[in-house]
C-alpha cells in the first residue's frame, strides 16, 4: 500500500508502464517494473514470485505500479532472477 501523501507510481505516471514518467523517482520504478517483466521471460507472476521468495501480491502490485517497492523486494528479485534490475542513475555530472 502506498504511504499517505504519496501517490502510487502508476497514479503519478499516465500511461504506466508504456510511457515515460516526468517524475524521475517514478521513472526509476517504471523502469524497474519493465526490467522485471523482461526478466520474467513469459513466466507467470505467481511462478516468479514463488521462485524468488516474494509474495504474489507484492510482485503484482509492483508490476502494475500500485505500490512503491522496498529494498528487500528489489534485492530478492535481483538475486532470484540473477540480474541487476534497478536502473542506473543517469544524472548530470559536475
Region for residue 46 given its phi and psi (left: phi exceeds 0; alpha: psi -120 to 50; beta: otherwise): alpha
> What is the CA 79 to chain-centroid distance, rounded?
15
Give the CA angle between residues 16, 22, 24 to the nearest 5°.
95
| DSSP 8-state code for residue 47 | H
Q: What is the pLDDT along the chain (94 residues), one digit of tens a residue?
A: 545 678 999 999 999 999 999 999 999 999 999 999 999 999 999 999 999 999 999 999 999 999 999 999 999 999 999 999 999 987 766 5
Amino acid at each position: 500500500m502506498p504511504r499517505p501523501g504519496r501517490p502510487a507510481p502508476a497514479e503519478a505516471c499516465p500511461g504506466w508502464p508504456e510511457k515515460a514518467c516526468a517524475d524521475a523517482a517514478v521513472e526509476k520504478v517504471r523502469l524497474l517494473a519493465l526490467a522485471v517483466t523482461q526478466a520474467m521471460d513469459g513466466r507467470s507472476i505467481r511462478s516468479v514470485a514463488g521462485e524468488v521468495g516474494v509474495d504474489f501480491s507484492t510482485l503484482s502490485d509492483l508490476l502494475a505500479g500500485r505500490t512503491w517497492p522496498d529494498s528487500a523486494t528489489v534485492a530478492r528479485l535481483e538475486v532470484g532472477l540473477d540480474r541487476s534490475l534497478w536502473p542506473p542513475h543517469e544524472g548530470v555530472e559536475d
